Amino acid sequence: MDKFIIQTEAKRCLECKHKPCVYACPAHNNIPEYMSKIKQGLWEEARTIWHSTSNLPELCGSLCQNENMCEGACTLNKIHKPVKIGFIEKGVSELFKEIVDYPKDKINHRHLVIGLGPAGIANALKMAEYGYIVEAIDSNALLGGTVYNLVPDFRFDKSILNDIQHKFDRLGIKIRYNTYVGKDVLLKDLIHEYDTIFIADGLGLPSSVDIQVEHLKVYYAQDLLNKNIYSKKDLSAMLGDKIYIVGLGNVAIDMARTLRRLHKEVHIIYRRTIEDAPAGKSEIEAAINEGVTIHELIGPVSYKMKNKIKLLNCEKTCLVQSTTGGRGLVQRVPNSETYFQIDDLIFATGQKTSEVLFHDSGVVQTPEISPFATNYPHIFVGGDRINKNKRIVDAMVTGLTVANQIAKGSYETNH
């Protein structure tokens, strides 16, 4: 990306003293200071400022929903358009894609990372930069986690993951790919092999919703998005033409937009309102522009076959004020049933953790001590496994926090 274009955009920044963008960023990136350095053409200083709080600018710059975070809080929203912070972040990251910070001293301490999604990557890179001997294990054939496995190609240039892999190579981080902890190797055997372990295995299992399904196959968006990465042709052939998706988060939108690219008729049903949806506004707009129909305030009740026709029975819903504050509560509207004639039904209603990794290891999370803690002081957890907000930036923050905690020595090793 052209430095002149990046600088022109950075020059719009007012360097606000009260820093609303910084508070709205889960990583608390020092945006005004960063913009100031870019304006002056001090590119390396800009990179150093960013790197102190974020070591995945290439991922965050591409995939963060900035309108809900830093850009949403930008003072310039009141006058015109916010500073394009994500665009600048991505542009600067491209300038420095070859750069790693080599440690001054090597530390005789073996650290293992399990799971190389954003949390594990951030943690492994930071630990290696501190000088620790870092190894990693992932069940996939490449790093990136969900970003590699599920996020569709049209949203993200996956060659960025090769650049990250080169950083691992340069820092000497050894990775055991295609290795599933809990099956191919056991956590109970790894516990005593390493000085510290960071577990960031993400969310391995889909969550379903309460709906009566009578002898019909339903699909989970995660499985289909993963299939799409490897074989778009197979995905197209296994599904009918008219598809209904339940849910309105990132996963539902990615599923819907993927299916539109396979020329399917796609409908999303959501029991809340579009304004209330977890998916980003720009992603929802993109889906609508691409021909996806969104039905809000409607929930599924049953899915059955009648006279060789697949019928999805739904009920209208409404939102009532919660007595404890927060989001409105969903209530079904009595006698408001509608039937849709459909070909296939897909759930995109969230994911949950798989506990296979921990099986028989004696390791358990101890959130009452710290969100990152387990009953073994040298074993930590992070990423989507512990985060309320399931976003790349939040996953990265957990990886960095645990690395900083280990570097400060604020844990005990009694294994």
Ligand X SMILES: Cc1cc2nc3c(=O)[nH]c(=O)nc-3n(C[C@H](O)[C@H](O)[C@H](O)COP(=O)(O)OP(=O)(O)OC[C@H]3O[C@@H](n4cnc5c(N)ncnc54)[C@H](O)[C@@H]3O)c2cc1C
Per-residue x/- track, 34-63, ligand X (CB under 6 A)? -----------------------------x
DSSP helix/strand/coil, 271: coil
Phi, psi of 191 (to 5 degrees): -50, -45
Does residue 250 belong to the site contacting ligand X (CB under 6 A)? yes
Does residue 151 belong to the site contacting ligand X (CB under 6 A)? yes
Interacting partner of 43 out of ligand SF4, ligand X, none (Cβ under 5 to 8 A depending on kind): none
| Minimal distance, residue 371 CB to ligand X, in Å | 13
d(CA 327, CA 260): 31
| Minimal distance, residue 7 CB to ligand SF4, in Å | 14
Footprint of ligand SF4 on 85-144 (CB under 6 A):
85
| Minimal distance, residue 179 CB to ligand X, in Å | 6
| Minimal distance, residue 92 CB to ligand SF4, in Å | 14
Interacting partner of 15 out of ligand X, ligand SF4, none (Cβ under 5 to 8 A depending on kind): ligand SF4
| Minimal distance, residue 177 CB to ligand X, in Å | 9
Footprint of ligand SF4 on 11-70 (CB under 6 A):
13-16, 20-21, 31-32, 35
Phi, psi of 301 (to 5 degrees): -120, -50
> Using N-to-C axis directions, what is the helix angle for 3-10 and 31-39, rounded to 10°?
130
Pairing outcome for strands 212-213 and 329-342: unpaired
Which region among 160-168, 308-316, 368-376, 385-393 touches ligand X (by CB under 6 A)?
385-393
Interacting partner of 181 out of ligand SF4, ligand X, none (Cβ under 5 to 8 A depending on kind): ligand X
Which region among 43-51, 76-84, 99-107, 143-151 touches ligand X (by CB under 6 A)?
143-151
* CA dist 415 → 137, 312, 404, 411 (Å): 21, 54, 21, 12
Footprint of ligand X on 272-311 (CB under 6 A):
none
Interacting partner of 20 out of ligand X, ligand SF4, none (Cβ under 5 to 8 A depending on kind): ligand SF4
Does residue 116 belong to the site contacting ligand X (CB under 6 A)? yes
| Minimal distance, residue 91 CB to ligand SF4, in Å | 15
**Short-list 180, 190, 161, CA closest to 357:** 180
**Short-list 252, 286, 290, 257, CA closest to 271:** 252
How many CB atoms within 10 Å of residue 74? 25
d(CA 39, CA 37): 5
d(CA 200, CA 147): 14
d(CA 213, CA 263): 26
Give 388: exposed, middle or buried? Use CB within 10 Å, 0-12, 13-18, 19+.
exposed
For residue 108, give the DSSP letter: S
Interacting partner of 32 out of ligand X, ligand SF4, none (Cβ under 5 to 8 A depending on kind): ligand SF4
CB 47 within 8 A of CB 125: no
Does residue 75 belong to the site contacting ligand SF4 (CB under 6 A)? yes
Interacting partner of 200 out of ligand X, ligand SF4, none (Cβ under 5 to 8 A depending on kind): ligand X
d(CA 282, CA 90): 18
Phi, psi of 308 (to 5 degrees): 65, 15
Interacting partner of 140 out of ligand X, ligand SF4, none (Cβ under 5 to 8 A depending on kind): ligand X
* CA dist 26 → 64, 141, 405, 410 (Å): 11, 30, 18, 23
Give the nearer residue to ligand X in terms of CB position, either 251 or 342: 251
Does residue 201 belong to the site contacting ligand X (CB under 6 A)? yes
For residue 66, give the DSSP letter: G
CB 266 within 8 A of CB 292: yes
Interacting partner of 31 out of ligand SF4, ligand X, none (Cβ under 5 to 8 A depending on kind): ligand SF4
| Minimal distance, residue 199 CB to ligand X, in Å | 9
- The one among 390, 397, 401, 406 contacting ligand X by CB under 6 A: 390
The site that binds ligand X (CB under 6 A) totals a number of residues, namely 39
Length of the chain: 415
Contacts with ligand SF4 by CB under 6 A lie at 13-16, 20-21, 31-32, 35, 74-76, 82-83, 85
Contacts with ligand X by CB under 6 A lie at 63-65, 114-120, 137-140, 145-147, 150-151, 180-182, 200-202, 204, 225, 250-251, 254, 356-357, 383-384, 390-393, 395
